[in-house]
Copies of this chain bind each other. A is one copy, B any other.
Amino acid sequence: MRIGVLGTGVVGRTIAGKLRELGHEVLVGSRSAGEDAVPFEKAAAHGELVFNCTNGNSSLEALSAAGEKHLAGKVLVDVANALDFSQGSPPVVGLGEGGSVGELIQREFPEAKVVKALNTVNANVMVDPRVVPGEHDLFISGNDAEAKTRVAGLLQSFGWPADRILDLGDITAARGQEAYVALWVQLMGVVGGATFNIHVVHG
């Protein structure tokens, strides 16, 4: 598949690498193209499916640069988190208005099929869940059922078992996925690293 990955941070590069390994044709987009990245717009236009791996605090700008017409009708996998370290650590997580980056993107780009996914684990876990032993879970949400099915398929190709991909519902559930990251930051201190995840346990 032709896939556009927006963002050249660790998350964008890790996901792009995995997608290429799986045989997809990937273009990575950045604000200032160069080396192995193209402008946001070119990456988005290239993709049949687009990953948003930009910083959640500037995702709207990045997606505007990518261009609404290059996102319309496409599955947009939103991996972004908005972390504000300006007041020190632990960071303030979220947009401070009770919403989420995922909802905001869906509102601003109504023709994109936004699926929130992968934002609750470190980049190395995203693309190889077996680095964390045993059962552990990934969350997806979005308004378009077919888009979620396609993303779940892609996640399975990353190694996520189908029954460990929990569909939380429509895109408002992105609030929960993004808010959890405030706990994730704390758990990183307890675990002593970022290679961990949570498993939902019930009877």
Q: How far is the CA of A135 from the CA of B92 in the complex (A)?
A: 30
Contact with B along A184-198 (1 / 0, CB 8 A): 111101110101111
Least CB distance from A83 to B in Å reads 11
Check if B176 sits within 8 Å of A190, measured CB to CB: no
Contact with B along A139-175 (1 / 0, CB 8 A): 1010000000000000000000000001111001101
Check if B186 sits within 8 Å of A168, measured CB to CB: yes
Q: How far is the CA of A183 from the CA of B186 in the complex (A)?
A: 15
With contact pairs A98-B84, A175-B182, A183-B177 given, residues A191 and B197 touching in the complex (Cβ less than 8 Å): no
Q: How far is the CA of A142 from the CA of B177 in the complex (A)?
A: 25
Contacts of A135 in B (CB 8 A): 201
Residue of A141, A202, A203 with most chain B CB atoms under a 10 A cut-off: A202
Least CB distance from A21 to B in Å reads 22
Within the oligomer, what is the number of copies of this chain?
Answer: 2
Please tell me which stretch of A5-13, A25-33, A35-43, A126-134 contacts chain B, meaning at least 4 of its Cβ atoms lie within 8 angstroms of it: A126-134
Check if A184 sits within 8 Å of B176, measured CB to CB: yes
Q: How far is the CA of A94 from the CA of B136 in the complex (A)?
A: 26
Selected contact of A179 from candidates B133, B167, B179, CB within 8 Å: B179
Contacts of A197 in B (CB 8 A): 200-202
For residue A96, CB closer than 8 A to chain B, the reply is yes
Q: How far is the CA of A63 from the CA of B5 in the complex (A)?
A: 50
Q: How far is the CA of A182 from the CA of B180 in the complex (A)?
A: 7
Selected contact of A199 from candidates B98, B176, B186, B199, CB within 8 Å: B199
Contacts of A169 in B (CB 8 A): 186, 189
Q: Which residue of B lies closest to A120 (CB)?
A: B183
A–B Cβ pairs within 8 angstroms, 26 of them: A87-B98, A90-B175, A90-B176, A92-B98, A93-B175, A94-B179, A132-B202, A135-B201, A136-B201, A166-B187, A166-B190, A167-B190, A168-B187, A168-B189, A175-B182, A176-B187, A177-B183, A179-B181, A179-B183, A195-B202, A196-B201, A196-B203, A197-B201, A198-B198, A198-B200, A199-B201
